[in-house]
Amino acid sequence: MSKADSMNKAASEAASESPTGAEGAHELGEAGAQLSTAPREENAIGGPTLGVVGWIRWFWRQLTSMRVALILLFLLSLGAIPGSLIPQNSVDELKAQAFKDAHETLTPIYEKLQLFDVYGSVWFSAIYILLFVSLIGCIVPRSWQFVGQLRGRPPGAPGRLTRLPAYTTWRSETEPEQIREAALALLKKRGFRAHVAGDAVAAEKGYLREAGNLLFHIALIVMLVAFATGQLFKSEGGKLIVEGDAFSNTLTQYDDFKSGSLFSTDELVPFSFDLDKFTGTYERSGPQRGTPRTFEAAVTYGRPGEAQKKAVIRVNEPLNVDGSKVYLIAHGYAPVVTVKDGKGKVVFKGAVPLLPIDNNITSTGAIKVMDGYRDPKTGKKTQLGFKAFFVPTFAGAGQGNMFSQFPALDFPVMAVTGYTGDLRVDGGLPQNVYQLDTSKMKQFTVGENGQVAQRLIPGETMTLPGGAGSITFEKEIKEWASFQVSQQPGNGLALAGAIAAIAGLAGSLFIQRRRIWVRAVRGADGVTVVEMAGLGRSESTRLPEELGELALTLHAEAPTAPDTPEEPEADEAAVPAEGHEK
């Protein structure tokens, strides 16, 4: 067997003799103290009854324990699940309302549990705050303890190195002082913090493990702070813009706007942009037919007093203007229509955005003529309204219905249903611009068969009965894009926290903190006895291997002393051989 093999074998065989339990820890003394800053758990049996202060201390110790922090982190993860599966009022109020309308039985239960506002609910906030307090209460004392360990020195060697998990020994003729000096230089060269303590060299390595552990938990606090900052100071608004129209980042320009409780509208970044053109192309064949291939909006933007710039906004490629990001989130069509009264006067002309209801952009909407129209019979001011049903690629002819079979404008058709009366827009109550309230209106019938709707292709006109006027589907069809403008001040902090958490977790998992002692003393026969032992934070096969490598290197400086031949005992030497006479 080689010298290296024997060293490694000696270092690993001693593990079976390592101490366990309180007796072993007591014998190792300071050298066997914890290699981490985790607080010790004391289980007191019996003792006096806890008072109010005692219960408060007990509750604080439980709250700031790592076990409770992990439980709270797990509960926070579970709490985020309904926030991802159930439509949230703060994200999309229309989807949340549609969900409520479709689930009348579940809605009251979900509302009581605040599942439509998970991230602002009482129970989610309670978990969040408790986790925040738990992490701070756990990390602060451990950080101070770790700083103290960094400022101190590795503890001296215990009295019996043989009780450590990894151990090896040999005898050498080299002087003990020379061996200790060689061991000190070797350990420092290998990155250990080492010093001579009495008759031994004490060394320690792997502090980055505990530093990584603390960094990971500090990073969790940073991410929690970033989340809170984002919720309190964020702003988020939506705007639908037709090609050729413009948007200015002011509160009155938004279709909908939501912000954190500490956000001020004065913090809105002053800028504007024009939607020059929207481009959407789709896969024409194969299993992916109809899938978007190009989905981008060309805009011209700028800040007040600055030159205008060109940019293209794509999905997941927002426009960033001084921390305010403009995301492209939806797209649809806006047919251009012209409405005339019975005298041929134009009372409405413009592009009407219609909302998609399927992946092929079958769309619905409303056309409202609120001013300038008079009843042809009485001459009194009244209003017109039209329900519009639009398909970019018509299908369903002869089947009594219509639908779109492709999202591009291959064969656009629009079905129009007309109404006259009161649109209910002057009552002061908010109204959806894409829906028509017909409760106070009379429906037109058109054609010889008295149908209520008429299909139009670009360039066709529907004439209203009784000289009420007409509506023309112009040949021009514009496209619209919906944008989300948001300010999230905590995003950069959250990213930094996530990177730090990954780095800290990697350090705590792959770095092992361990201590090495090298003792060199002169034996009774004048020969130096060299002992090497190691202690790690957790059981690992790497510690005996590392100790064996160090022992082999040190052995080159202090080789094993030659064995002394044994002399025969006097009684055996005096006895003559059998058959020999004096």
- Tell me the pLDDT tens digit for each residue of 304-318: 999 999 999 999 899
Burial class (CB in 10 A: 0-12, 13-18, 19+), 524: exposed
- pLDDT for the residue numbered 115: 92
pLDDT at residue 54, as a whole number: 84
Strands of 198-308 (E only): list them: 200-205, 235-242, 246-248, 256-259, 272-282, 292-302
Q: What is the mean pLDDT of residues 412-437?
A: 87
Confidence of residue 42 (pLDDT cuts 50, 70, 90): low
Q: Check pLDDT > 90 for residue 397.
A: no
pLDDT above 70 (res 43): no
The pLDDT-based confidence of 573 (bands split at 50, 70, 90) is: very low
Mean pLDDT of all residues in 425-449: 83
Amino acid at 98: A
Quote the CA–CA distance of 97 and 120 in Å, as a whole number. 18
Top-confidence residue, 56 or 485: 485
Residues 6+ apart with CB under 8 A from 533: 14, 157, 161, 162, 164, 166, 167, 168, 516, 517, 547
* Cβ-based neighbours of 437, under 8 Å, separated by 6 or more: 423, 424, 431
pLDDT at 577 over 60: no
Q: What is the mean pLDDT of residues 10-33?
A: 52
Q: Mean pLDDT, to the nearest integer, of 360-370?
A: 94
Strand partners, 394: 404
Mean pLDDT of the chain: 85
Distance separating alpha carbons of residues 319 and 418, to the nearest angstrom? 40
Looking at mean pLDDT, say which of 38-52, 93-107, 350-364 comes out highest. 350-364
What residues have CB less than 8 Å from 386, skipping those under 6 apart?
337, 339, 366, 367, 368, 416, 417, 418, 419, 436, 471
The CA distance from 200 to 530, in Å, is 10
Q: 72-82: buried (b, 16+ CB within 10 Å) or exposed (e) per residue?
A: beebbeebeeb
**Average pLDDT of the residues in 378-407:** 88
What's the confidence (pLDDT) of residue 61? 85
CA atoms within 13 A on the CB side of 139: 19
Of 189 and 34, more confident: 189
Q: What is the dihedral of CA 241, 242, 246, 251, to 10 degrees?
A: -30
- Helix (H) / strand (E) element for 348: namely strand 346-351
Please say if the pLDDT value at position 555 is more than 60. Answer: yes
8 A C-beta contact, residue 370 and residue 413: no
> Has residue 369 got a pLDDT over 50?
yes
365, containing H or E segment: strand 363-369
Percent of the residues in the chain that have a pLDDT greater than 70, as a whole number: 86
What pLDDT, on the 0 to 100 scale, is given for residue 188? 95
Q: Indicate the pTM of the whole model.
A: 0.67
**pLDDT value of position 23:** 46
Question: What is the spatial distance between Cα 501 and Cα 217, in angstroms, rounded to a whole number?
Answer: 7
**Residue 46 DSSP class:** S
Region 113-133 average pLDDT: 89
The mean pLDDT value for 348-374 works out to 94
